[in-house]
Chains A and B, each alone.
Chain A
Amino acid sequence: MTTTTDAPVRPARQRIVPVRPPRQQRAEGRTTTNLTLGAGRTTRVLALAVLAVAALIWLLPMAWALLTAFKSEADASDPVHWIWPRHGFTFQAFSTVWERGDLPLWMLNSLLISVAVTVITVLVSAMAGYAFSRTLFAGRKWLFTLTIAAVLVPPQILIVPWFEQMLTLHLLDTYAAVILPQTVAPVMVFILKKHFDSLPVELEEAARIDGAGHWRIFWSVLLPLSRPMLAAVAIFVFIGAWNNFLWPFVSTSDPSLMTLPVGITTVKDAYGIQYAQSMASAVLAALPLVAVFVFFQRHIVKSVATTGLGGQ
């Protein structure tokens, strides 16, 4: 008798479970379908050939830089043996660049500044996103409208007044000067507000009945639920800050405060024709983010989709 009542319940419950994993797998890009360009053998071979050529073109600059970095200075500036060095490969350029000491310093500066920008931006934007999404206060609507409107302001037009402002605040040539202007990210507030809008209100109500206040709900209920979205936003903010050039370039003149993108440009000015050394610097400077990408590749792809930029 119990079997008759159990029967309709069980399949229903089981159906929900297996539906999700395949969808998530697709979102991660592990698709093996041949539906876009056709499954024919010739199509596939052709596609593979085009792709291989394109990938070679794209990898060539980096491969050649790598090759040059392992040459001696004499070989690097030898136009006849432009692929293979006459005197073999050497770590000379790398050790010279590393021992000079400014490159590790720039990396440290970049790391420090990017992490600070990321932490501040994500926290402050998430709090504002929560406020605009889940709370009521006077002026909320027009403050949010103002925030969205500010997305249109190109940071490039602010470098002159920012510089003037840092002069006024006596912050020029400090970490704060580089970090603070980069933490204002109206786009991220918008993305996180939209994200909080999409979370069910029931969770919050349940927490509220248990006596949780806004901070508790934000910190212990909504943020843990938002981990993938926060990671996505953090990745974009971090890459943006790591690669930012114009503002760190304008706001610092002290070589000990230079970030990687700014410092690396002084390599070619100061050491002019040392091709192997400048390529070795480029390789070393490129390593951190490339390593991050290799490890978090799938996550980065997913974050593109989840920030709402793609996938629609």
Chain B
Amino acid sequence: MSSPHASPRPRPLSSRRLLPPGLLFALPFLVLFAVFLLWPLGEGLWMALTDKALSAHAPSFVGLDNFSEAFGDAEMWRALWHTVLFTLISTVPLVVVALGMALLVHTGLPGQWVWRLAFFAPYLLPVGVVGLLWLWLYQPDLGVYNHLLGAVGLDQVAWLSDESVALWAIALTTLWWTVGFNFLLYLAALQSIPDHLYEAAAIDGAGAWRRLFSITLPQLGRITTVITVLQLLASLKVFDQVYLLTKGGPNNSTRPVVEYIYDVGFTGYRLGYASAISYIFFALVLLASAAQFAVLRRREK
């Protein structure tokens, strides 16, 4: 009796034009989206233009004062530099090591299950556990790495308390912790390379290296781009493992920009200034995304 397109929901037909079913379906998401993303995004921008503090007094409008203060703030530039440096020294190994692992595991050796578990398991650890674990591993006297260095006759390293080493130590922890995810992405990509490419190459008499460089790596080009993009953006947002391992120290030498935002906002109580730095950081992320987008566009052509 009802036409095929009539909606059987209990709403009267007349309301269908006002709130089409499609919009109703999108509504729960759109409400959450508006309340917990758009609103805070706008409020953050507004706060960045005020001297809002974490106290009762009413904030007053200060225009771009927070931004001009930030641009002259050596600590902010230092924190931004730590973020960029960490991104560089973590992204390259996280892509290259993941690729190497995936190539080796994909070779068809026995014990697939064990390899995958070994490389991916750390990714499943909550960052709190990773922090606890590596604080222990990096212990100057008790830690396993200094014991191993001692065993081969090398000097101990002050992993987390030497300013020139600490950020590298954090990058090493990050590599151990998260490389498994990229490894799985590469593994999935390797498995989707069609066999016939290799069969054709075998008939043409191509050796293993030839197959690697002429088939496997080019076929992985797309996923490599995807992994690199995801990794760069993830590394730019680093906070957790730095906070847990060094609290940004020693002497703020590892503090990334997200931790600076946290410090300014929640231990310095300057929410307005913290918002301004958030937006400067946001601009950096957008810039990185735009650069990557441009590279991707060119590669597609």
Residue positions of A touching B, CB distance < 8 A: 26-27, 29-38, 40, 43-44, 47-48, 50-51, 54-55, 58-62, 64-65, 68, 76-77, 79, 82, 110, 123-125, 127-128, 130-132, 134-140, 143, 147, 150, 152-154, 156-165, 180-181, 183-184, 186, 189, 208-209, 211-216, 218, 239, 242-243, 245-246, 250, 260-265, 267-268, 275, 278-279, 281-282, 285-286, 289-290, 292-294, 297, 300-301, 304-305, 309-312
Q: Mark B24-53, 1 if CB is under 8 A from A, else 0.
A: 111011101101111111011001000010
| Chain B hits for A300, CB < 8 A | 120, 184
**Interface contact A164-B271, CB-CB below 8 Å:** yes
Whether the Cβ atoms of B32 and A180 lie closer than 8 Å is: yes
Q: Decide: A285 and B126 in contact? CB cutoff 8 A.
A: yes
Interface residue tally on B, bucketed by range: 35 or more
CA distance in complex: A211, B7 (Å): 9
Are A150 and B265 neighbours in the complex by a CB distance under 8 Å?
Answer: no
A304/B184 contact (C-beta < 8 A), A156-B258, A184-B36 known = yes
Known contacts A131-B23, A262-B128, A279-B132: does B282 contact A154 (CB below 8 Å)?
A: yes
> What residues on B are CB-neighbors of A211 within 8 Å?
2, 4, 8
Q: How far is the CB of B37 from chain A (nearest CB, A)?
A: 5
CB-based nearest B residue for A258: B128
C-alpha gap A264/B136 in the complex (Å):
14
**5 further A-B pairs in the complex, CB-CB below 8 A; given A35-B202, A301-B188:** A26-B192, A127-B29, A159-B262, A160-B278, A215-B9
CB < 8 Å A-B pair total: 338
- Determine the residue in chain B with the shortest Cβ distance to A26: B191
Q: Is the CB of B39 within 8 A of A213?
A: no
Once the chains bind, are B237 and A156 in contact (CB under 8 Å)? yes
Interface SS, B side: helix
The distance in angstroms between the C-alpha atoms of A301 and B191, with both chains bound, is: 11
Q: A61-B137, A136-B22, A261-B128 are in contact. Are A160 and B47 (CB under 8 A)?
A: yes
Q: Which secondary structure dominates where chain A touches chain B?
A: helix
CB of B107 within 8 A of chain A?
yes
Q: Is the CB of B47 within 8 A of A161?
A: yes
